[in-house]
Amino acid sequence: MKRSEFVEKKLNVKLPSDYKEFIDSIGLISDERGEIYGYNENIKDINKIPCVIGATLLYRKDYPSISEKDIVISFDDYENSPIVLDTSSGQVHKIYHSKKELVSKNFKEYLKSVFNF
């Protein structure tokens, strides 16, 4: 089973193709530039960050504006806000307790803006 298929099954979502490609080829990013949550086989506990599964399940409890179609792909420590990928539209949003703010029109654009990929 591909990494992206595992994530889709665990979160009951259909991932956009650009995020699927990221998961299957890179897995996740965690370095001095920041983090992009994802999944790879080296993650010992999928219920903890930086695993996208653990991050999504954790933040869904605390932020009512995160929908069942949103997955948490990062966290803005400065603004104390999760960054989510809307799996139905492919858009990336910053989440506040009662609202969403558009960050990028798709995951690939977000990745490029944050990590110069």
pLDDT in tens, 39-87: 999 999 999 999 999 999 999 998 988 999 999 999 998 889 999 999 9
- DSSP per-residue letters across the chain: --HHHHHHHHHT----HHHHHHHHHT--EEETTEEE-B--TT-S-TTSTTBHHHHHHHHHHH-TT--TTEEEEEEETTTTEEEEEETTT--EEEE-SS-EEEEESSHHHHHHHHH--
CATH no. for 3-115: 3.40.1580.10
Could you state, in order of their start, the residue ranges of all structural domains in the chain? 3-115
User: What band does 10 get if pLDDT is binned at 50, 70 and 90?
Assistant: very high
| Structure confidence at residue 32 as a pLDDT band (50, 70, 90) | confident
| pLDDT tens column, 95-114 | 987 789 999 999 999 999 98
pTM for this structure? 0.94
Average pLDDT over residues 25-33: 90
**Mean per-residue pLDDT, 7-12:** 97
